[in-house]
Structure 1
Amino acid sequence: MHKVTDLKVLYFGTPVVLIGSRNEDGSANLAPMSSAWWLGQTCVLGLGDSAQSAINLRREGECVLNLPSSAQVDAVDALALLSANPHLSETKRAQGYRYERHKFTAAGMTELPGDLVQAPRAAECPVQLECRLETATPLTGNTRCTAFEVSVIRAHIDEHLILPGTDHYIDPLGWDPLIMKFCEFFGNTHRLTPSRLAEGWNMPARLPTTP
């Protein structure tokens, strides 16, 4: 039997993306998000307008989508409640967010230059997609969020993920993406580690971690 309910969260499971972008002073920003989907060579990113990544993307018109595997869960979690925007709302402060400009250092990740964009790549991520911004569309009924459409113009892929005998396909058995479901981290169908984001957002589910 189904129950009619007003769900508070609709994150049924999407890959985590670390967006690399440039701040106004040229420093590197690295921010986790999971509202992303792909079709062909296009990706749509859902970002809050106050997020530093959204501000940078509008100004610079480019970014790098770094896709972590489940092995990078600790690095991603270290970034979960950090913001490169010094103007934090009271809501974010209450959730535990704090200002941090040095995101790569905080995550323990290595900054690499892009080939075709100025935005930074994260060396530890097995998939790094250089992108250019195509359009930015405010979400209907929510003036605080925007859907950014970006085109992938260059892909850097760990050679161990390339399907043997091909040059252009990912081995689905070798790729274990970090997945976020309802603010909790999953990889290979298992919950990986408690999430700071879930704690900050007061998510009720506190599930056991699978070794």
Structure 2
Amino acid sequence: MHKVTDLKVLYFGTPVVLIGSRNEDGGANLMPMSSAWWLGQTCVLGLGNSSQTAANLRREGECVLNLPCSAQVDVVDRLALLTANPRIAEYRRAQGYRYERDKFGAAGLTELPGELVRAPRAAECPVQLECRVEEARPLAGNEGCTAFEVTVVRAHVDERLLVPGTDHYVDPVGWDPLIMKFCEFFGGGRRLTPSRLAEGWQMPGRLPAAV
């Protein structure tokens, strides 16, 4: 039997993306997010307008989508409650967010330059997609968020993930993306480590990580 319910969270499961961008002073920024979907060479990113990354994408018109694998869950979790915007809303402070300008250092990742864009790549991420912003529009009914439409202009993929004998196809068996599902981390079909984001958002029903 189905129950009619007003769901508070609709994150049924999407890959985690570390968005690399440039701050106004030229420094590197890195933001974890999971509101992204792809079609062809286009990706749509859903971002809150108060984030430093949203401001960077509007100003610079480019970014790098760094995709971590499930084994990098701890790296992503270290970034979960950090912001490069010194103006932190009170509700975010209550969730545990704090200001941190050096996101690469905080995550323990190595910054690499983009080849076609100025935005930074994360060397340790097995997939890095250089992108240019094509359009930015507010979400219907939610003026606090923006949908950024970006085009992938260059892809960097760990050669171990490519289907043998090809240069253009990722092996779906070899690629195990880090998935965020209802603010919790999943990979390989199982729940991974406890999530700081879920704790900050006071998500109910949190269980110990699977062994």
- TM-score, normalized by the shorter chain, greater than 0.5: yes
Shift of 1:207: 1.8
Residues 31-88 of structure 1: per-residue CA shift (max 9 Å, x gap) = 1000000000000000000111100000000000000000110010000000000000
Whole-Å separation in 1 of the counterparts to 2:12 and 2:205: 14
Aligned residue for 1:46?
46
Whole-Å separation in 2 of the counterparts to 1:37 and 1:50: 21
Alignment of 1:108-187 (within 5 A): 108-187=108-187
Alignment of 1:73-84 (within 5 A): 73-84=73-84
Residues 110-140 of structure 1: per-residue CA shift (max 9 Å, x gap) = 0000000000000010000000000001000
Asked whether 1:199 is paired with 2:196, we answer no
Give the match's secondary structure for 1:32: strand
Whole-Å separation in 1 of the counterparts to 2:77 and 2:67: 14
Give the match's secondary structure for 1:71: helix
Give the match's secondary structure for 1:186: strand
Aligned residue for 1:101?
101
Whole-Å separation in 2 of the counterparts to 1:68 and 1:205: 26
Shift of 1:209: 1.1
Shift of 1:208: 2.6
Whole-Å separation in 1 of the counterparts to 2:115 and 2:205: 42
- Which stretches of structure 1, 4 residues or longer, exceed 3 Å deviation after superposition? none
Whole-Å separation in 2 of the counterparts to 1:193 and 1:187: 10
TM-score, normalising length from structure 1?
A: 0.99
Paired residues in the alignment total 211
Whole-Å separation in 2 of the counterparts to 1:73 and 1:84: 20
Shift of 1:4: 0.6
Give the match's secondary structure for 1:43: strand
Whole-Å separation in 1 of the counterparts to 2:134 and 2:161: 28
Aligned residue for 2:86?
86
Whole-Å separation in 2 of the counterparts to 1:192 and 1:123: 23
Aligned residue for 2:67?
67
TM-score, normalising length from structure 2?
A: 0.99
Alignment of 1:3-18 (within 5 A): 3-18=3-18
